[in-house]
């Protein structure tokens, strides 16, 4: 992944999973503060079958209203399409510091591992 830092919500299983992946990929992890005035340069919203948590939709809407690049990835879709879309999004918008959100239930989805293993290459 072509980013320098990943912002994550603290104390969640999903965030712990992403932190472990980021440590092996050499990407810095930063705790995301909802009250911070300065937002990351982009938002990656990972979901399964377009099921989104309400608070994640609110954050997505906030980024969208501020014209900050956003990307939704459905890990149950075609893997190559998800990887290609992420790469194009990162290349087009040059986001180096992104917030990654996803629900706790994604941890049980084998496609999450497939997706992150693929973008590590």
Look at residue 24 in the predicted model and tell me its pLDDT: 92
In CATH, 5-119 is 3.30.350.10: no
Domain ranges of the chain: 5-119
Tens digits of per-residue pLDDT, 65-84?
Answer: 999 999 999 999 999 999 99
**What's 97's DSSP letter?**
E
pLDDT of 22 above 80: yes
**What's 38's DSSP letter?**
S
**What's 107's DSSP letter?**
G
Sorting pLDDT into bands at 50, 70 and 90, what band is 38? confident
For residue 71, which phi and psi values (nearest 5 degrees)?
Answer: -145, 135
Tens digits of per-residue pLDDT, 103-116?
Answer: 999 999 999 999 99
Beta bridge partners of 72: 45
Q: What is the pTM of this model?
A: 0.93
Range 82-87, long-range pairs (CB < 8 A, 24+ positions): 82/115, 83/115, 83/118, 83/119, 86/1, 86/44, 86/119, 87/2, 87/119
**Cα distance between residue 94 and residue 120, in whole Å:** 18
Look at residue 77 in the predicted model and tell me its pLDDT: 93
Look at residue 1 in the predicted model and tell me its pLDDT: 66
């Amino acid at each position: 992944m072509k980013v320098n830092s990943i912002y994550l919500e603290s104390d969640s299983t999903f965030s712990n999973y992403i932190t472990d992946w980021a440590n092996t990929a050499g990407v810095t992890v930063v705790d995301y503060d909802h009250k911070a005035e300065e937002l990351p340069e982009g938002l990656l919203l990972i979901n399964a079958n377009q099921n989104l948590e309400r608070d994640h939709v609110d954050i997505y809407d906030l980024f969208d209203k501020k014209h900050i690049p956003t990307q939704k990835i459905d890990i149950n879709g075609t893997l190559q399409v998800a990887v290609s879309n992420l790469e194009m999004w990162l290349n087009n918008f040059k986001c180096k510091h992104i917030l990654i959100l996803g629900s706790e239930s994604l941890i049980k989805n084998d496609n999450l591992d497939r997706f992150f293993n693929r973008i590590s290459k």
